[in-house]
Amino acid sequence: MDTGSPHEAGPDGPQGTIEAAGGEPVWIALPPGLLRMRRLLLVVWLGLIALAAGLLPGLLAGPAWAAFALPPLALMAWGWVMIERNWRSWRYAERDDDLLISRGVLWREETVVPYGRMQLVEVTSGPVERHFGLASVQLHTAAAATDATIPGLDPAEAERLRDRLTELGEARSAGL
């Protein structure tokens, strides 16, 4: 089984066709744009918190009070590493009858969505995602608890995946 390492998908994301090799799924990693977006958001938010926590007390009460900026900065360093680990854990694979989505660092989670159970496939992209050239694919089934989302895809790949999943769902007499 392939590992789904981002390096296997290439520096610009997944390329080529998606086929099962010898019955084993070919895992596709997420492109690095999602990692860049999440790291930027981390730096912006925790940088503002560190600035507010260190600057105001440092100016009003003395330089020693600027040490309140250290916890947000430490959290930023920890988050920088954890965001990459989380990003590396995300991958997906298309098989003949279902779509696999794997994610998680401490608690690994693998979701199997049979093409025949899909009712709706959505491609969404918020303003921050659009700025980074990203889109998400969300699969809806009859089960309300289904959490089958693939975040941070290239918009062209997201549309290709939506069209392919819709086609496969229709071919298997699904509710699409």
Name the pTM for this structure. Answer: 0.75
Residue 60 lies in a domain: yes
Q: How many domains does the chain have?
A: 2
- Please, which pLDDT band fits residue 175 given cuts at 50, 70 and 90? very low
Residue 162 lies in a domain: yes
**55 and 84 co-located in one domain:** yes
149 to 55, 66, 67, 121, 166: CA distances (angstroms): 40, 41, 40, 10, 15
**108 and 122 co-located in one domain:** yes
Cβ–Cβ < 8 Å for 29, 5: yes
**114 and 47 co-located in one domain:** no
User: CA 142, 148, 152, 158 torsion: positive or negative?
Assistant: negative
Q: Domain ends where: 57, 72, 89?
A: 89
**114 and 164 co-located in one domain:** yes
Residue 9 lies in a domain: no
pLDDT digits (tens, 9 = 90+) for 139-157: 988 777 777 899 999 999 9
pLDDT digits (tens, 9 = 90+) for 31-50: 999 999 999 999 999 999 99
Per-residue model confidence (pLDDT) at position 2:
42
Residue 127 lies in a domain: yes
**110 and 134 co-located in one domain:** yes
Residue 62 lies in a domain: yes
Report the largest interatomic distance among the alpha carbons of the chain, rounded to a whole angstrom. 70
**Statement: residue 132 has pLDDT above 60:** yes
Bridge partners (DSSP) of residue 150 are 137
138 to 22, 35, 62, 126, 162: CA distances (angstroms): 28, 19, 51, 13, 9
**103 and 125 co-located in one domain:** yes
Domain encompassing residue 123? 93-175
